[in-house]
């Protein structure tokens, strides 16, 4: 009887959630087939990874910027912290993903602009953001892009703010010499094997803050 009970709970996922996950998978697969280096995975991030990514967000403590919204897995988790939709902006340059994000999150501002120039279109002022949540495939980008994205992100972040990034490696996706040049440091937030592939989350921050 105990085994039967566990199985019943396992298959009791609401139909709406099943449809959402199926839709996210199909959207992500289509994007990967079109631009594999830009998408970097054939499946969307899991809710377990999303929980790690948003664990430092205080819903009553300032704006949040998400880079690389994709199918909205992290967007949904950010809003799930209680952060008001008007305090969240999501950067997504894939037009299909951007359209889907606007449909699913009508009260969230979706910015179809490169992450390295987001300050030119963001609603908030530089220095007003508590966190930047990044779903960008940094491992697929070059050093110059790392410098540009981190420089812009920390332009938007207030003192004490953090840039949160996941990677499929056990090591930070940005080289130490780049962090030294930008006066940044990084710590490991956690890892989840309940993601495909398993992922590690890192928090980047200004030294001395």
Name, in order, each residue with C-beta under 8 angstroms of 167's C-beta and a sequence gap of 6 or more: 138, 139, 173, 199, 200, 202
Strands 184-192 and 199-206: antiparallel
What are the tokens at 20? 């959402």
pTM of the model: 0.81
Domains of the chain as residue ranges with CATH: 14-206 (3.40.50.150)
What sign results for the dihedral spanned by CA atoms 120, 141, 101, 31? positive
Which residues, given as ranges, of the chain have pLDDT below 50? Answer: 1-13, 25, 32-33, 36-42
pLDDT of residue 6: 41
Residue 21 has what pLDDT?
Answer: 56
The CA-to-CA distance between both ends of the chain, in Å, stands at 54
pLDDT recorded at residue 39 = 45
Q: Which two tokens stand for residue 84?
A: 């008001």
CB atoms within 10 A of CB 185: 16
- Per-residue pLDDT tens digits for 10-65: 344 456 555 655 555 455 555 544 554 444 444 567 889 999 999 999 999 999 99
Model pLDDT, residue 74: 96
Q: Which two tokens stand for residue 137?
A: 């495939």
Residue 117, Cα to own-chain centre: how many angstroms?
17
**What pLDDT is stored for residue 194 in this prediction?**
84
């Amino acid at each position: 009887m105990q085994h039967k009970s566990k199985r019943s709970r396992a298959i009791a996922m609401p139909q709406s959630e099943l449809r959402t996950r199926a839709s996210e998978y199909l959207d992500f697969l289509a994007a990967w087939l079109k631009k594999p280096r830009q998408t970097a995975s054939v499946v969307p991030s899991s809710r377990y990874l999303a929980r790690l990514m948003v664990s430092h967000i205080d819903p009553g403590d300032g704006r949040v910027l998400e880079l690389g919204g994709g199918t909205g897995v992290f967007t949904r988790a950010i809003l799930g912290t209680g952060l008001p939709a008007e305090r969240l902006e999501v950067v997504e340059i894939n037009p299909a993903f951007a359209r889907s994000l606007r449909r699913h999150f009508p009260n969230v501002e979706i910015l179809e602009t490169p992450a390295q120039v987001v300050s030119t279109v963001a609603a908030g002022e530089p220095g007003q953001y508590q966190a930047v949540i990044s779903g960008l495939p940094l491992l697929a980008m070059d050093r110059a892009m790392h410098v540009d994205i981190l420089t812009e992100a920390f332009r938007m972040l207030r003192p004490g703010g953090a840039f949160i990034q996941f990677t499929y490696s056990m090591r930070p996706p940005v080289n130490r010499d780049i962090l030294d040049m930008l006066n940044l440091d990084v710590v490991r937030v956690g890892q989840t094997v309940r993601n495909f592939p398993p992922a590690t989350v890192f928090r980047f921050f200004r030294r001395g803050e």
